[in-house]
Structure 1
Amino acid sequence: MTLKLRSIEFSLPDWPDKAFNGIREAEKRLADIAGSAGKGSTRFQDTCSRIGRAASQGESAILANINDPIEIRALTYLLSVPAENHAPIMLTERIIKRMEEIKSPMSRLSLMQLVRAFFFRFDNLVSPLGLQTLIALIKDQLRTLNRGAQGGLSTYASSSSLLFSETGPAKLAEKAQREAIDLDVLFKRLSLTGLGESRYLTLARCQYYLRTLETIPINQSHSILSEICKKEVFTTPLDESRLVGHGVLEIIIDRSKGSVIHTDWRNAILAIAGDPRVPKSAENYQRWWSLLGEERVALMRGWLSRFDLKLFLSILEQSAKDSGERDMERMFAPRKKFMEGLLEEGVIVESRLFLSTYATRYLKQRYKKEDLPAYARVRSSRTSMIYLNIKNKVYLVEGSHSFPIKIFNKLAPESRLPNYNIDEVTDEQLRNGEMERFHRTYGLNGCLSQTHRDLIWQNSVLQFMKSNGVLIRAAKVIRQESYRAYKEKFGSN
């Protein structure tokens, strides 16, 4: 006789994450107990102290103090923990070979400590010539594990060709990107999650950021940009002479060459290296721009000219609105068209902002400090200026608040315009001082100061540029609705 029972429908709720807290805590205690096994003995502590003292005396002293397995265990322990009471121990080929001679295979504890030291210190653990020897030792020791072994060492053994290499961090980054795996997921698979602050994983993350930067669409927003702008990321040493930030800057600048740089890409450069238009003795310039080469510096200066002009025009427009003067508002549109036309013609080599108290306050309300370019201050409540270098042949200064446009075919040696050592000027020094310096040095010819009488000032500047080897078509810098009147009055060029 078969007894049939009616099925009972029921559901179990998902386990809350806190239900596993006890298990996790027990696992951690077990790991701590296992990791500290044998480390509380007086003999072990004395051995650690002795090897720690020998570390300050160099390789020979360390070699003299590692002659048996407990000393190997003490040495690998000291390598795997922060050097608080002794000099940092740097492995050499001779020390590595001595470790292998004394005890092979190593105890699982000594091997785990050595592997941990490899990940945490990586390229800071061993002299350059000894890194390959250390890697060979670790791989050989991992091969001696029993086939049934489990845990981290087993995972490391099965992935030794990927993990234990001079280019291991780069290999991890490449694998994550090639297989479209989140880097943290890959770390977990490889039993690396407890090594988050290690030099090895830090380099892997940085390599991942660099590889991602090389492949994302050019000049588009991307979440990676906010990651690379973190100080702890871009100041990470990449190799003996460069930081991660240098690699980031090279990729962003080189990939943006020949285009108008995206705001987020430009801001990333400013956040890392700052504006290159500062004295070459400045700390930021020495740390970043001096290593990037003049071509990259020139590219950034060009992109910043576009940004400078955008900022200046926004200041000019707001000043006109705030003044309530119809003449200022009327003059804004033709000045905006003229300067934007110069920019689009690609003749602006360099620019520099000189900002009043009003302008500084206006910009700081709208931009983060790190996103603003370098500028000089004007000891004036209202008047701001912009300096434009036109193809290294003509030098122009435009300003707000009844500032006559000024143009020169060369700059006086003591000119304040391109002098980045001068970061503060007065209104008078730019309004009249630049003309006076030019006249004292070169005479009356070769410069022009012109008030903004519509069409007259544009023609005066265009003719001055033409006579100095810079030909700009009037149609590019004069508004369409004014161009017919301009042609009737001055002809076309």
Structure 2
Amino acid sequence: MKLPPVHMPVVEWPARTIEDWRMLIEKGARMAAATGKGDAFEAMLARLREMASTGRFEGLPALLKRRLTARALTWLWLNDEVIGRRLFSARLLTVLVEAQPPRLTRITLQQLAQFYFRRFDKLDEHEGLREQLEQVLLQQLQLLPEPRVSGPQADPLVTLKRDGHWLLPLDGPVQLVGQVRDSGHELGATFAALGLQGFDDGRYGDICRAHFYLETLRGLSPGEYDPVLDELQKPSVAKAPYEGERRIGHIALEILIDRAGQEPGDAWLNFILNLAGDPRISRNSQNYREWWQFLGEERVQKVRGWLSKEDLRLFLQAVEQYGIETQNDDLQRMFPARKQFLEGLFKLKLIRNTRLLLGGRAQHSVNRILGKEVKTTFARMDGKMNDKAVIYLDCGDFHLVEGSHSFKIWVYLASPGEALRSYERSSFSHADLTTAIPQAYKRLYPSLPYDAFTHHPPLSWQNRVFSFLAENGIALDIEQLLNRSDYQPYLRKFGMPVVNAKRTVVPPLRQADSPVEPARKHGGRAGAITVSAPQGPQGTTDSRATPAQDPVVPRAVTSAPVGRGTQQHDPVVPRSVSSSEVSAPAAAPPMLVNEGLLAGLKPSALTILRYFVDNPGDKVRYAANVFGVDAREINQMLYGPLKDLCARDEQFGWTVNEAARLALEALDEQEGA
């Protein structure tokens, strides 16, 4: 049987009826709030407030034997922060429990539990008070009888009796958030399901939400900004407990530092510095002990490495701005070359650590220009260094101290003592940088060379630095350290530095009684680089980490003459050549190739070309050692007649292009016929 559809009548309630219901709801809420708060309760509240104001508590132990007093006292603890603080103590908590045998009433116990959730870790402002209250709650909950009737909503005391052993301890928020995350529910819904509505409005709930913030951090892309970063910077969140002595802020720092690569991005770096400050400070400082000592040395060093770029930026900013403000033409003219040199070291990933030193005037200039953007710490300089800026750079295999104005660039093969590396010292003078620190270096490494160069004339100071390092077996990609407009003029004037095959070994630290002046090695006239072994202890390997272009012992053919810079090893090219073939004797004019891609090339150039055909990717110094000639002669050919036939790769190796290789094969076949 098919029945007609049922149309439910739509009833419009009169406005008067709706208003009556609203008034009933409000009345019910007032009655619920006033439950147990009759005239006697209000009188007891007034009496307790008077005791707190006057400090006279003589009659309180006797009053606490009454259920009404216990309920009023815990109500004040929960709802009146000022009076509650005066009335709450470990002694009074003990007296309350002892005065209420066999157990606290349900209302008193629930108020006490809410008070615990609201204050939570803040209870530890009085040592041991949180743990004492936790134990009181656990003991009282176990004395609570099972409810005879269960309602539609969960009973908070029943929940705490069942789960209080893991909810109430200091790591309770971690445990709760873990369960919420695993179940896929929301935090507020979980509190409601446990019957703990209203228990999440204090510190316990804040800490739970902070743990959710940490989960958000774990899901961010490296360097990505999120409003949760602002929340985690708030002291109430950052200093919330996590586990043991570690705080939420410690875990947030660990997450970001571990997930960031070489470039953390401005958002993450600003968060780290705003929360924990610059780690390049004394280990005894309060900020270091509060934050950085919990993160481990590896993370500290990683952040210090990030801040090297910031130091470099501030140094260059100080130098550039001072030159502009003082209209110092010489300083402005020298600035681009210094900037390229220092930024090139950073791009080559050679800089491991830095230390920025600013004179008073330089510091004022930086602060005035950048204002609150300046978050890094720096050492101060006084006296004649008042208007200057200096930066110390630890580049692993060598160390630099570079300064503004007429301050020389100092080059060391090892760390020049602890003064610049240690953050315990915060001020330096001109004498420290030019006398005391070099003397400390001499005491530590009596036979290890160092040097200092003025920044004049242009290109010469870079050549002196490159030459000093090359003589001691350290290779640099000089193209990255010179402005594009300076690179070719530099090559024409000085050529490529010849890197000594034997690295100068840094000896173990020693403290000499009578310091010996180390050899200050110079390259003679500009561009003249010797390939002889450097002074001091030497070896073919160095225990320290080497840069990307490690010096390699050169290879040579057995039939090559054992001349300058050559050694006898297994052959690496199929034919024997001599230095006379490369240098092309002047007495007999060489025969030139008359046609094709190789037209006009001398036999010496063809010999070099054949070498790189047979040994693609080899470096210039290998070829120079094989032929027993200066590397400059090889470079002159590669950058001269062979420049369109060969290409240099990122590792400074040379390869003959395909067209030239085929042309050379055709020429060899023609000559063989």
Give the TM bin, normalised by the shorter chain.
0.7 to 0.9
**Larger Cα Rg: Structure 1 or Structure 2?**
2
Aligned partner of 2:414 among 410, 415, 418:
410
Letter in 1 for 2:467: Q
Q: 1:31 to 1:454 in 2, by over 3 A?
A: farther
Q: Secondary structure at the match of 1:388?
A: strand
| Paired positions, count | 454
Matches within 5 A, 1:23-422: 33-34=34-35, 36-37=37-38, 39-40=41-42, 73=71, 77=75, 80=78, 82-88=84-90, 102=103, 106-107=105-106, 109-122=107-120, 134=137, 144=147, 165-166=167-168, 169-170=173-174, 173=177, 198-256=202-260, 258-367=261-370, 369=372, 371-379=374-382, 380-391=385-396, 393-413=397-417, 416-422=419-425
Q: Secondary structure at the match of 1:40?
A: helix
Identity of aligned residues (%): 29
Q: TM-score under structure 2 normalisation?
A: 0.56
Kindly report the root-mean-square deviation, in angstroms, between the aligned alpha carbons of the 2 structures. 4.7
Alignment check: 8 A CA contact 1:121 1:200 kept: yes
Alignment check: 8 A CA contact 2:283 2:289 kept: yes
Cα deviation for residue 418 of structure 1 reads 2.2
> In structure 2, what is the Cα distance between the partners aligned to 1:370 and 1:477?
28
Letter in 2 for 1:212: T
Q: Secondary structure at the match of 1:238?
A: strand
Q: 1:395 to 1:299 in 2, by over 3 A?
A: same
> In structure 1, what is the Cα distance between the partners aligned to 2:28 and 2:390?
66
Cα offsets for 1:102-131 (capped at 9, x unmatched): 47xx54x23531331341244659876995
Cα offsets for 1:253-306 (capped at 9, x unmatched): 1111x3311122112222222222222222222222222111111101101111
Cα offsets for 1:30-54 (capped at 9, x unmatched): 66534745533559978x99xxx9x
Q: Secondary structure at the match of 1:306?
A: helix
Cα deviation for residue 89 of structure 1 reads 6.5
Letter in 2 for 1:289: W
Cα deviation for residue 312 of structure 1 reads 1.2
Cα deviation for residue 221 of structure 1 reads 1.8
Alignment check: 8 A CA contact 1:338 1:478 kept: yes
Alignment check: 8 A CA contact 2:138 2:161 kept: no
Letter in 2 for 1:382: D
Q: 1:130 to 1:32 in 2, by over 3 A?
A: closer
Q: Secondary structure at the match of 2:208?
A: helix
Cα deviation for residue 330 of structure 1 reads 2.9
Aligned partner of 1:455 among 448, 452, 459:
459
Task: Report what 2:600 is aligned to.
Answer: none
Q: 1:438 to 1:102 in 2, by over 3 A?
A: closer
Alignment check: 8 A CA contact 1:115 1:138 kept: no
Alignment check: 8 A CA contact 2:359 2:389 kept: yes
Task: Report what 2:671 is aligned to.
Answer: none
> In structure 1, what is the Cα distance between the partners aligned to 2:369 and 2:141?
55
Q: 1:80 to 1:460 in 2, by over 3 A?
A: same
Q: Secondary structure at the match of 1:248?
A: helix
Task: Report what 1:490 is aligned to.
Answer: 495
Cα offsets for 1:324-374 (capped at 9, x unmatched): 344323322222121112112222121111112233223323445585111
Letter in 1 for 2:221: P
Cα deviation for residue 399 of structure 1 reads 1.0
Q: 1:240 to 1:445 in 2, by over 3 A?
A: closer
> In structure 1, what is the Cα distance between the partners aligned to 2:374 and 2:196?
36
Letter in 1 for 2:229: L
Q: Secondary structure at the match of 1:491?
A: coil
> In structure 1, what is the Cα distance between the partners aligned to 2:188 and 2:368?
38
Tell me which moved more, 451-460 or 36-45. 36-45
Provide structure 1 residue ranges, at least 5 long, that are not aligned to the other structure. 1-11, 13-21, 56-61
Q: 1:25 to 1:460 in 2, by over 3 A?
A: farther
Task: Report what 2:566 is aligned to.
Answer: none
Q: 1:371 to 1:382 in 2, by over 3 A?
A: closer
Q: 1:130 to 1:26 in 2, by over 3 A?
A: closer
> In structure 1, what is the Cα distance between the partners aligned to 2:191 and 2:374?
34
Cα offsets for 1:66-106 (capped at 9, x unmatched): 988657646754764634134236989xx999989647xx5
Q: Secondary structure at the match of 2:467?
A: helix
Alignment check: 8 A CA contact 2:253 2:272 kept: yes
> In structure 1, what is the Cα distance between the partners aligned to 2:286 and 2:45?
50
Q: 1:25 to 1:476 in 2, by over 3 A?
A: farther
Q: Secondary structure at the match of 2:240?
A: coil
Q: 1:142 to 1:267 in 2, by over 3 A?
A: farther
Q: 1:294 to 1:467 in 2, by over 3 A?
A: farther
Tell me which moved more, 154-163 or 329-338. 154-163
Alignment check: 8 A CA contact 2:394 2:415 kept: no
Cα offsets for 1:8-40 (capped at 9, x unmatched): xxxx9xxxxxxxxx9999898666534745533
Cα offsets for 1:440-468 (capped at 9, x unmatched): 77569621111123322223223333455
Provide structure 2 residue ranges, at least 5 long, that are not aligned to the other structure. 1-14, 16-22, 500-673
Letter in 2 for 1:84: R
Task: Report what 2:508 is aligned to.
Answer: none
Q: 1:45 to 1:376 in 2, by over 3 A?
A: same
Alignment check: 8 A CA contact 1:174 1:208 kept: no
> In structure 2, what is the Cα distance between the partners aligned to 1:43 and 1:312?
64
Tell me which moved more, 449-458 or 438-447. 438-447
Q: 1:215 to 1:171 in 2, by over 3 A?
A: farther
Letter in 1 for 2:487: Y
Alignment check: 8 A CA contact 1:355 1:378 kept: yes
Question: Which has the larger helix fraction?
Answer: 1
Alignment check: 8 A CA contact 2:311 2:355 kept: yes
Alignment check: 8 A CA contact 1:170 1:208 kept: no
